[in-house]
Amino acid sequence: MFRQDYIKRVIQQVGELVAAVRKKQAEARYTEAQQLLEQAYGRLGLGRGFLTLAPDSIALLIPDTERLEAIAALSELEAQLHESLGKPELARLCRKRAEHLRNRKRR
């Protein structure tokens, strides 16, 4: 019970960070948006190095579906940020990670 409550609080905090990232992105404040995105990943217990793992490895290391969905949502948001910065290849990789995590979560 305590673990579920904790996870829900973390997801809520990540949601608040996502809203802040979108606001910064809309204001073309991309560096600040990137920093907030890093904080959101950090709230989920992920560092940048962790995200270089294959999506299957991420899914194995993080078994709960709520966190996987949050990671997928952050990856999609990161893709949008890369597009805004003119980095289509990084955007494509982030979208692919998000799609794979969502598909993995449904299994």
* The pLDDT of residue 90: 93
Of the chain, the percentage scoring pLDDT greater than 90 comes to 47
Structure tokens at 87: 């980095």
102, 76 contact by CB (below 8 A): no
Identify the CA nearest to 59 among candidates 5, 2, 98, 18.
Answer: 98
Give the structural domain span for 44: 2-106
* The pLDDT of residue 79: 95
More confident residue, 75 or 57: 75
Q: How many CB atoms lie within 10 A of CB 5?
A: 9
Q: How confident is the model at residue 31 (pLDDT cuts 50, 70, 90)?
A: very high
If one counts the domains in the chain, the total is 1
* The pLDDT of residue 107: 56
Secondary-structure breakdown of the chain: helix, strand, coil percentages, each rounded to the nearest 5: 80, 0, 20
84, 34 contact by CB (below 8 A): no
